[in-house]
Amino acid sequence: MSVPRGVFIGTDSGATTSKTGGVWADGSTISTHLRQSATNSQAGTQAVVRGWIEGVEGFLGDNGLSWDQVLGVGLAIPGPYKSYGVLDRSANLPLSFEGWDFHRDYGAALAEKAARPIPLVVGNDGNYGGVAEAQRVRGDRKASVLMLAPGSGLGCAYVDANGLPLDGDTLAGMEAGHMPSPLQLLGGVRPYRCGCGRDWGCVEAYTTISGLPQLLEDMLAKHPGHELASSTAPIKEKVLSLRSRAQKGDALALDIFDFQARALGLHVANLAMALDPEFVVIGGGLIDPESTTPEFRERYLGGIRSAALPYLFPAQREKLKIVAASLGELSQAIGAALVALYSARAR
């Protein structure tokens, strides 16, 4: 009788949607089709945990697997945290979730379902996404990887040569989107407001959707005749139109994304001083092949490279590779599963 192959499961818990994926014990991906379901945070913490368990059950069933094969589980969940596995106040979750020991509750639910304890690791969703992208970009080589993923906010991760993320003591490591931008190198732009509450000009505010209303306001001063200057559309509608406008050659939109690329490139150089990675992976919607043209993606990545290059050490200029992410929405669930695998190997 053949022995069932062991698997490691990854749960990616977003504010509204949770996704489940997995890897085999050799690190290869079980399926590129994630199991997705509503997080149901409005119904309370136990409803969220039930959804995570249902996601695992559904993923196992979809792929002809059983609980007996599950050797470990990883959970990717946005912070901030009070301590390992315990949530702090989150902007995207109910206030009642503050202080929730999600590690304890999910671990207990997994043990009940499997009729045995299952090792559970938890971490920041951005960090775990970086783990998966790092595995993809470096293959079997030993190399460290920095990932920056601009979206609604700036996801950041640093993955060491062993494949593990820099978490920090309270899982707040690599919250690099909230480091200050070198405003003097960005044309003396004013410090933008950031959702985190800091007033020093967080990088996230200059590189992501969250800061686009302020950036659009400033850029319209340079393009006073643009139709968006007189438009009565809601600001959200205006900023969400910029990506498609840029791909049609709109000068204002191109100026905005060129600015964001420069801000992100300077941040790459700043982080390279501390972390010295071989690879920098750029994720997010601006390099999504489904939503952007090859010309737009190359312009954006080229802007990042040209901004970073002058501030790198000579050896880094030759070694550092800035590449586009390739896993999309798979990354965080697969990364969580990989961290569970790597932790099992370490044990």
How many whole angstroms separate alpha carbon 189 and alpha carbon 250? 22
**Which stretches does DSSP call E strand in the chain?**
7-13, 17-24, 35-38, 70-76, 81-83, 86-87, 120-123, 145-150, 154-159, 279-282, 321-324
How many whole angstroms separate alpha carbon 81 and alpha carbon 197? 16
**Residue 1 clears pLDDT 60, i.e. is over it:** no
pLDDT per residue as tens digits for the range 213-264: 999 999 999 999 999 999 999 999 999 999 999 999 999 999 999 999 999 9
Give the pLDDT band (50/70/90) at residue 319. Answer: very high
pLDDT per residue as tens digits for the range 33-67: 999 988 889 999 999 999 999 999 999 999 999 99
Segment 303-314 shows an average pLDDT of 97
Give the pLDDT band (50/70/90) at residue 4. Answer: low
DSSP string, 239-268: HHTHHHHHHTT-HHHHHHHHHHHHHHHHHH
In 3D space, the residue among 156, 208, 174, 215 whose CA is nearest the CA of residue 191 turns out to be 215
pLDDT per residue as tens digits for the range 324-337: 999 988 999 999 99
Q: Are strands 279-282 and 145-150 parallel, antiparallel or unpaired?
A: parallel
pLDDT per residue as tens digits for the range 93-131: 889 999 999 999 999 999 999 999 999 999 988 899 999
How many whole angstroms separate alpha carbon 218 and alpha carbon 60? 50
Report yes or no: 93 and 87 within 8 Å, Cβ to Cβ.
yes
The secondary structure of the chain in percent helix, strand, coil, rounded to multiples of 5, reads: 50, 15, 35
Tell me the pLDDT of the chain averaged across its residues.
93
**Residue 157 clears pLDDT 60, i.e. is over it:** yes
Q: pLDDT at position 3, please?
A: 45
In 3D space, the residue among 183, 182, 212 whose CA is nearest the CA of residue 195 turns out to be 212
Rounded to two decimals, the pTM is: 0.86
In 3D space, the residue among 191, 192, 202, 188 whose CA is nearest the CA of residue 150 turns out to be 202
Give the pLDDT band (50/70/90) at residue 296. Answer: very high
How many whole angstroms separate alpha carbon 303 and alpha carbon 259? 9
How many whole angstroms separate alpha carbon 85 and alpha carbon 87? 7
pLDDT-wise least confident of 131-145, 255-269, 301-315: 131-145
Work out the angle at residue 331's Cα, subtended by the Cα atoms of residues 330 and 333, and round it to the nearest 5 degrees.
Answer: 75
Go through the domains of the chain in sequence order and give each one's CATH number: 7-123 (3.30.420.40), 137-326 (3.30.420.40)
Q: pLDDT at position 252, please?
A: 98
What are the tokens at 159?
């993955």
Phi/psi region, residue 318 (left: phi>0; alpha: psi -120 to 50; beta: rest), is alpha
